[in-house]
Amino acid sequence: MDYKESLCIIEAILFASGEPITPQRLSDASGIERDTVVKLIDQLERKYNVSDSPLKILRLADSYQLSTREEYAPYIKKAMENKRQTRLSPAALEVLAIIAYNQPVTKAFVEQVRGTDSSSVVNTLVERELLCEAGRLDLPGKPVTYKTTENFLRCFKLSSLADLPSLPSEDGQVELSEIAEYISSSEDEE
């Protein structure tokens, strides 16, 4: 592997990591010697400084992290706030209803109930801190289970899950869309 490719590999790992990472971990992941990794990071740092890049390398003890420069923080903060304030899709509301009433559950359970792939919806709800991991089942593959968070309760103005509307008996079936509508109306009141 040539120098340019090595530089790109280290930059990509730093970007994807999003957290401080040690030179040894960078070395293990890239197959590049540790001393060379440190030199490549120095080169990246010079590259960012010379080109007036919005990126910089943070040195944290024996770790490095790719970061943005402080002067761009207000713009980044505004972009992240806009992302967090977007309304939940009908699919997200449906997934929340399924999990709220049946927790803790796996993605496979949610997908079985909905009849469609729900991985990205569940991941988005975890990112938005409406769901969190609740542990793993003692089954082959040790699937992760999910449950609602305190943030879920706060967002939907519930003091506990007991405040969710009760599900009707089997003869008075309720549609998931009705539950999602209830949750959505709580969200509209915010």
Domain segments of the chain as ranges: 3-72, 87-188
What DSSP state is assigned to residue 59? E
| pLDDT of 49 strictly over 70 | yes
pLDDT for the residue numbered 141: 86
- The pLDDT tens digits of the residues spanning 54-78 come to 999 998 878 999 999 999 989 988 8
Contacting residues for 128 by C-beta, under 8 A, at least 6 apart: 84, 151
Give 60's strand partners.
63
- The pLDDT tens digits of the residues spanning 72-81 come to 989 988 887 7
Instruction: Give me the architecture of the 87-188 domain, per CATH.
Output: Orthogonal Bundle (1.10)
Q: Does domain 3-72 have CATH number 1.10.10.10?
A: yes
pLDDT-derived band of residue 88, with 50, 70 and 90 as boundaries?
Answer: confident
- The answer to whether the predicted template modeling score (pTM) of the entire model surpasses 0.85 is no
Over residues 144-167, the mean pLDDT reads 86
- The pLDDT tens digits of the residues spanning 162-182 come to 888 877 666 556 566 666 666
pLDDT-derived band of residue 187, with 50, 70 and 90 as boundaries?
Answer: low
Contacting residues for 170 by C-beta, under 8 A, at least 6 apart: none
Examine residue 165 and say whether the peptide bond preceding it is cis (omega within 30 degrees of 0): no
pLDDT-derived band of residue 33, with 50, 70 and 90 as boundaries?
Answer: very high
Identical topology for domains 3-72 and 87-188: yes
Share of the chain above pLDDT 70, in %: 86
